[in-house]
Structure 1
Amino acid sequence: MKKLALPPLARADGMTTHDYVFLRLRQAIMVGAFRPGTSLTIRGLAAALESSSTPVREALRQLTSIGALKLLENRRIQVPVVTPELFEELISLRVVLEQHAAKRAVAHITEHQIDQLVEMDLAIDQAIAEQDKVGALLANQQFHRGIYSISPDRIVLPMIESVWLQLGPVQGVAMEHVAELYVVDRHQEIIQALRQRNEEELAAAIGADIREGIGGFNAAAIASLLDAAAA
């Protein structure tokens, strides 16, 4: 059996094996490392993580309980298939939540933090140039998280990450085609709006970034991509 390839994740000092396994599997789902409909086994994941089965089993239980994975009747674990209807709903939620979080961050973000966003955006460009899809997705999430984590609203980032998690299975598939739609670097507009402390322009840039990126696919296009992924 071919060993699963999971995106790397730095392990913080003192982090338990249970927490590390959960966070690494969560990240893998979030960036589309598993295709929609893929069946996962404890043995296969334990081998990929170089872990025993116990923390993997607990992580799968947690991920199933929050809807990131699906428990089948035969007790197998499956990566959910994102329907076109659910996809459109999740994109709409992304726009609303991320615009809110970004606007709330405006009054609190520093110039140094904005400079860090510039560096993150350069990392995205480099990953794309190297055709590193997973690296580009991770860097893109770091960029957006770098804005939303500054919002004083503590609940909004976990809500946003929950939506990212549910969109994850289609992310890797869509990333293969997203360059066809995404022709304007909205991150530059986001950075400029942050420097100017302009909430409305920031919200517009965030919305455009989402809708012209993965959100630029309509229901028919997403259905075609999912069919191709399952083939």
Structure 2
Amino acid sequence: MQLLRKPAASAEKPRADRPAHQHVYEQLRMRILFGDLAPGQAVTIQGLVDSLGAGMTPVREAIRRLISDGALSMLGNRRVIVPELTEDCIEQLDFMRQSLEPQLARRAASRIDANGLSALKGCDDALNVAIERGDIAGYLTHNYRFHATLYQIAQAPILSATVDRLWLRFAPSLRVVCGRYGTLNLPDKHADLMMAFAAGDADAAARAMAEDAHQGMLQIRASLEDAAGDERFD
């Protein structure tokens, strides 16, 4: 896995009305969300400066914000790391996700319209293609976009912002799950969510979301347990 990729030629350009540190924050945040920075592997601040094509000051500010978000930890010698999840962290994240995300699904079910259903279907169709192709990057991207679109439909900015910060803590480990198990065997409750939304059934949407969140965390826990077992036998 390439951890410090140069920005693609088609990458979003910084807007004149957006501070440089905000643009860098969003770039680095996406790298964390989609597993380009692996849990437990330290990278240098200078390496991030070089790969992001940004100045030291905006990179440091972005890192400061991501540390506050719980997405990064600072090490010595000008290095940062994506924290590895512990069993206790997984338990707390599972509790938080099952507490908050069903409520977002419930709100979305009562607010969704034809445009919202179409947007979610587009995300889910792209996700299914990625699963069939074994496209890990595509899976991670479209899975997150499905959830982010749902949160937007829910029109609950406080809940959405809280859940989005939770994603920064567990999403890097989803890359590890995909690498270990592939994409075809990953749990998918999105079809149940889509049926619930089409029917306007808020209770069914909440149940499907709770199951989706819980299954995702179970996969992460299983992956970490398998990795620990591998290390014992090395």
1:104: which partner in 2?
107
Change (3 A) 1:12 1:75: closer
Unmatched tracts of structure 1, length 5 or more = none
Distance in 1 of aligned mates of 2:83 and 2:229 = 14
Letter of the 2:217 partner, please give it.
Answer: G
Question: Where does residue 144 of structure 1 map in the other structure?
Answer: 147
Task: Judge conservation of contact 1:33–1:134 (CA < 8 Å) in 2.
Answer: no
Which whole-Å deviations, capped at 9, do the CAs of 1:147-189 have from their partners, x for residues lacking one?
1112232201111111100113312101222647536x42111
TM-score, scaled relative to structure 1: 0.86
Tell me the residue number matched to 1:215: 217
SS of equivalent to 1:40: strand
State yes or no: 1:203 paired with 2:206.
yes
The one-letter code of the counterpart of 1:10 is: E
Kindly provide the amino acid, as one letter, of the partner of residue 118 in structure 1.
K
Counterpart residue number, 2:64:
61
1:125 corresponding residue in structure 2? 128
- The residue type paired with residue 101 of structure 2 is E
Larger mean CA deviation between 170-179 and 118-127 belongs to: 170-179
SS of residue matched to 1:155: helix
Answering whether residue 27 of structure 2 is matched by residue 24 of structure 1, we say yes
Q: Which residue of 1 aligns with 2:194?
A: 191
CA distance, structure 2, for counterparts of residue 72 and residue 23 of structure 1: 22
Stretch of structure 1 that moved more, 215-224 or 67-76: 215-224
Q: Name the structure 2 match of 1:169.
A: 172
Report the alpha carbon displacement of residue 88 of structure 1 after superposing the two structures with TM.
2.4
Deviation at 1:107, TM superposition (A): 1.8
Which of residues 182, 188, 196 in structure 1 aligns to 2:186?
A: 182
CA RMSD of aligned residues (A): 2.6
Distance in 2 between residues matched to 1:227 and 1:28, nearest whole Å: 28
* 1:72 correspondence with 2:97: no
Deviates more, 1:157-166 or 1:128-137: 128-137
Equivalent residue, structure 2, for 1:5: 5
In 2, are the aligned partners of 1:21 and 1:56 still within 8 Å (CA)? yes
The reply on whether 1:95 has 2:98 as its aligned counterpart is: yes
Deviation per CA, 1:34-60: give whole Å up to 9, x if none.
Answer: 121111212111111112222111111
SS at match of 1:59: helix
Among all aligned residue pairs of Structure 1 and Structure 2, give the percentage whose two residues are the same amino acid: 30
Distance of aligned partners of 1:69 and 1:100 in 2 relative to their CA distance in 1, 3 Å threshold: same
- TM-score normalised over the length of structure 2: 0.85
Structure 2 counterpart SS, 1:195? helix
CA contact (8 A) 2:117 2:198 kept: yes
The match for 1:42 among 20, 41, 45 is: 45
Aligned: 1:51 with 2:54: yes
